[in-house]
Structure 1
Amino acid sequence: MTGSLPPLTLVVGGARSGKSAFAEQLVTATGRPRRYIATAEAWDDEMRDRIARHLAQRGAAWTTVEAPLDLPAALATTRPDESVLVDCATLWLTNHLLADHDLAAEAARLIAALVACPAPVIVVSNETGWGIVPDNALARRFRDAQGRLNQRLAAEAQLVVTVIAGLPLVLKGSLPDPK
């Protein structure tokens, strides 16, 4: 896949569905400088190892910016010639939930920053609503907030793709033309 990306793309899917790899392919295919905005926080050794592995796999062709909470500020620093990958909205939302922030206000700030971003952005997010109903209030609050955030992102995006078992399915818009 080569070609230009729309201003906003949402890639959504379940855990380990292949959504991040697909999003990375879309960004790489543009041939533009690549910016990776990471939202994960390394709370334990397993997560530190995972982050280090992902950094090594992406390589030096990517500029990585860590933004576990202030994603709007990170988006504001992008250049118009770049392609941006935000991975992922789910961890970003989790960070705000655990910090007891106003999730609706943070989501509104994020949407405004995405719309204002001078570079095309791909946002990766998890679909959390296909499983069982969580057994505790915090998990239900998160699942509901994630569903609302995904809906807002999808409404704003010109391209929405779900990835299931490594296979992309376009839900809205169309993929860039292969050349």
Structure 2
Amino acid sequence: MASTPSLILLALLLPLIPLAIAAPEKHLVTHLPGFDSALPSKHYVGYITVDESNGRRLFYYLVLSERDPAIDPVVLWLNGGPGCSSFDGFVYENGPFNFERGSTPGGLPKLQLNPYSWSKVSSMMYLDSPAGVGMSYSLNNDYKTGDLKTAADAHIFLSFFEGRISSF
């Protein structure tokens, strides 16, 4: 029989089985400071409200696959912690950019394409979770959390995208 953490993980991953997702067009990123070329694929960034009564909103950054987002898998990236933003994964681990060496000290860092980005073969969803981590927040300081609350919020978050399945 599966353990509770395994069931929670399964519940989080099941919505990712669809092969392509779409984010609201108002969340579309058209350019990034420090990167002077066209983005290698569509990028989306924004907040999804997971608890209206507490004003709890989770921040995400979605990078569509550079290959074929209609058939490539979707990876949900959650950095370890506690308290580590998944945006760290985007900028330091497996995202589409690296910081260019030799940038001007104190100036705007320059970005260059990461030839080993996971977005070469999959769409990447970077999620700051739970509220209070990274750029996710609660309007009334509702930051007491645990595995079940975090999993429930992630399920609500993923359900928002599940209804937006599309082909690109």
Please, what TM-score do these two structures have when normalized by structure 1? 0.29
Q: Which has the higher helix share?
A: 1
Of structures 1 and 2, the one with the larger relative CO (CA 8 A, separation 6+) is 1
Please, what TM-score do these two structures have when normalized by structure 2? 0.30
- Say which one has the larger Rg: 2
